[in-house]
Amino acid sequence: MSQTNQQWGGRFTESTDAFVQEFTASVQFDQRMYRQDIAGSIAHATMLAEVGVLSAADRDAIVAGLEAIRGEIERGEFTWSVALEDVHMNIEARLTERIGLAGKRLHTGRSRNDQVATDIRLYMRDAIDAVLAELRRLQGGLVELAEREAATIMPGFTHLQVAQPVTFGHHLLAWFEQLKRDSGRFSDCRARLNVSPLGAAALAGTTYPIDRHRSAELLGFSAPSENSLDSVSDRDFAIEFCAAGALLMTHLSRFSEELVLWSSAQFGFVDIPDRFCTGSSIMPQKKNPDVPELVRGKVGRVNGHLIGLLTLMKGQPLAYNKDNQEDKEPLFDTVDTVLGSLRAFADMVPALRARPERMRAAAQQGFATATDLADYLVRKGVPFRDAHEIVGKAVRLGVDTGRDLSAMSLEELRGFSAAIEADVFDCLTLEGSVAARNHFGGTAPHQVLTACARARAWLGLS
């Protein structure tokens, strides 16, 4: 019987079942790696010619043919075939169709196992570079906004209860620090994945006199991978990327939650521009923060992809198994989700508009300067535990009378401790509270601007 796939069908006596053919094919999703597949094949052919396995004429025909195929794909002229299973066989079949026998020589000394392992590393390297670029753009937007709002006072929260006054700029730079750690994780992932599996072949290497260091160099890898068995079966880098992606999405989800709260009528701390929101089909007054809500929701799919990949790999013996075809869809979706979420935030964050009057009014509630009063008493010689009790009693009076500490008279405050003097009101103002925290990492406006300068330097911005 005729074979479904002539590139591997010699051993088979019947055609692949039509459903199985569709079920086992990956070209529907792995065709996005066509650039990486062509680059890997050009490097492989170049190396084979340098070591004398291919003639210069065959190499030139292969390179020209592959470059022409890349043009066909980018112009939308390439026909993808499920019968040819994957991106690799589709491109190789078209190459042979274009240039004849030389196309059939391209696969010398190579297997689809090391080919796909190479392609996916090249693809992930490009993806990480794109993620890092969007991360930097978002961080730059955060710094820009933090500089504008370095002295804007808002309540800081613990347990979502008013705790102490902070500046909006300081809060934004907390987001920056989370993203800075994310950037480090993606950079580390990139460094670890940047080794070339090309030449590991199916699992044991090849009998041809290949130069793996040369093909690694041609593809911009730092080195060839050390062990052929590990080379074709390793997917740690995919799991690591999804882990870094899941943590980044968790950070973006936390940012999103704050933006959803802050943009609500109950808080009113920020205004999200209309272009990042939608309305209601029935309630004309609604302005829904859809971008942060959707980003907050997308973390679930990335977390799921991470668990899926961990489960995919947990029971696999060495070396390559068909299970590994299942790595690409969750990995690709993680790339798309992370990049899309970052792009949305990088566009939105610099456009946020703070509402200082609402932030200030909220900071004046909840006795945000109570700790400042306790610290004041300590500086007057009162032991901290006693100071804590004294301030607690003063807060009780404030709760009962509906007044902030700063609204009480000196006589009322002295009724709780004779150590309190007229200068107490300097520490009970919101400005005094944030200004007093004038140390490295503190919320004082001067420290916020200094931190912004450090952030700009880290980003390489002027």
Q: What would the pLDDT profile of 182-208 be if each residue is shown by its tens digit?
A: 999 999 999 999 999 999 999 999 999
The pLDDT of residue 296 is 97
Tens digits of per-residue pLDDT, 298-308?
Answer: 999 999 999 99
Please tell me the number of Cα atoms within 13 Å of 377 on its side-chain side. Answer: 24
Question: Catalytic site residue 251?
Answer: no
The H or E element spanning position 164 is strand 161-167
Confidence of residue 23 (pLDDT cuts 50, 70, 90): confident
Rounded to an integer, what distance in angstroms lies between the CA atom of residue 37 and that of residue 244? Answer: 25
- Is residue 15 over pLDDT 80? no
Decide: 149 and 217 in contact? Cβ < 8 Å.
no
User: What is the C-alpha R_g of the chain?
Assistant: 31
Condensed to tens digits (0 to 9), the pLDDT of residues 364-382 reads 988 999 999 999 999 999 9
**115-131 pLDDT per residue, tens:** 999 999 999 999 999 99
Three-class SS state of 385: helix
Among residues 55, 222, 264, 280, the one annotated as catalytic is 280
State the Cα–Cα distance between residues 346 and 8, nearest whole angstrom.
47
Q: Which of 2, 159, 409, 462 is catalytic?
A: 159
Per DSSP, 15 falls in state P
pTM of the model: 0.91
Nearest to 146 by CA among 443, 462, 460, 458: 443
Residues in a beta bridge with 354: 270
Handedness of CA 70, 72, 78, 84 (dihedral sign): negative
Tokens 């969007």 identify what position?
134
Smallest CA-to-CA distance from 155 within 349, 365, 451, 354 is with: 365
- Lowest mean per-residue pLDDT among 156-170, 273-287, 320-334, 385-399: 273-287
DSSP line for 321-370: -GGGGGGHHHHHHHHHHHHHHHHHHHHHGGG-EE-HHHHHHHHTTTTTTH
For residue 299, give every residue at least 6 positions away whose Cβ sits within 8 Å of its Cβ, in sequence order, or none: 246, 249, 250, 252, 253
- Catalytic, 280? Answer yes
DSSP 54: S
Answer for the pair 291, 203: CB distance below 8 angstroms, yes or no.
Answer: no
CATH numbers and ranges of domains, the chain: 9-108 (1.10.275.10), 113-149+156-360 (1.20.200.10), 363-459 (1.10.40.30)
